[in-house]
Amino acid sequence: GDSVTQMEGPVTLSEEAFLTINCTYTATGYPSLFWYVQYPGEGLQLLLKATKADDKGSNKGFEATYRKETTSFHLEKGSVQVSDSAVYFCALRGDYKLSFGAGTTVTVRA
Amino acid sequence: SQTIHQWPATLVQPVGSPLSLECTVEGTSNPNLYWYRQAAGRGLQLLFYSVGIGQISSEVPQNLSASRPQDRQFILSSKKLLLSDSGFYLCAWDVSGRIGTGELFFGEGSRLTVL
């Protein structure tokens, strides 16, 4: 079945550092790929998405490119802020079900 | 615009007690509805989904059940809670007829602690 594997944290960074969270997937067909973010005590919010190969999703300075050849959807941000501290989930959707990775906790220190 | 609400936000229950978590979506008709659980330090697991009133599909066997008595209402229940039922429960919805392509929209979550 479909599955998502993402880099497990926790990840601790200083403000203005570069952030990368690796995400790879296994799926049949051509799934849509997503990154969700969960701030402390809150539900999940969609951060960005890509629906086909080579699409780049971007939002709030974050980017991720749908790489079919490497089955990857790595999340990147060039300069993180303290407000980016959260749990980040990579997710895949091939049919009715949105399958999530385990989540990566990111802490940004001032 | 569409909104989704869950309640209660926080719940502490003894082992063996019943459970009822409620989720309501506003601003859309005939949404697909989902219940996910996030256990401590783990990812999200799909528990139930529903494509219409009275239609419930279960993803994993457990002592939880779900019901959809109205178009935009989704309820998660248990007759007798277990310690392992503790976690953060998230309700979500998406647009009917677009299964497989779009994102899910999540509620604020309900944190359940079973003691």
pLDDT digits 0-9 by tens, B82-103: 999 999 999 999 887 655 567 8
Measured in angstroms, the CA of B9 and the nearest CA of chain A are apart by 10
A45 beta partners: A37
Distance CA B67, CA B74 (A): 6
Contact A97 B59 (CB under 8 A): yes
Which chain B residues are Cβ-neighbours of A49 within 8 angstroms? 103
Distance CA B38, CA B109 (A): 10
What is the per-residue pLDDT for B101? 61
What is the per-residue pLDDT for B99? 52
What is the per-residue pLDDT for A63? 98
Distance CA B66, CA B110 (A): 15
Tell whether A45 is within 8 A of chain B (Cβ). yes
- In this structure, the strands spanning A86-93 and A104-109 are antiparallel
What is the per-residue pLDDT for A7? 85
Count of C-beta atoms within a 10 Å radius of residue B81: 21
What is the per-residue pLDDT for A32? 92
Tokens of A24: 């790879």
Nearest to B44 among A46, A49, A100 (CB): A100
Backbone Cα Rg of chain A: 13
Per-residue pLDDT of chain A (110 residues; tens, 9 = 90+): 888 999 888 999 999 999 999 999 999 888 999 999 999 888 899 999 999 999 999 999 999 999 999 999 999 999 999 999 999 999 998 777 788 999 999 999 99
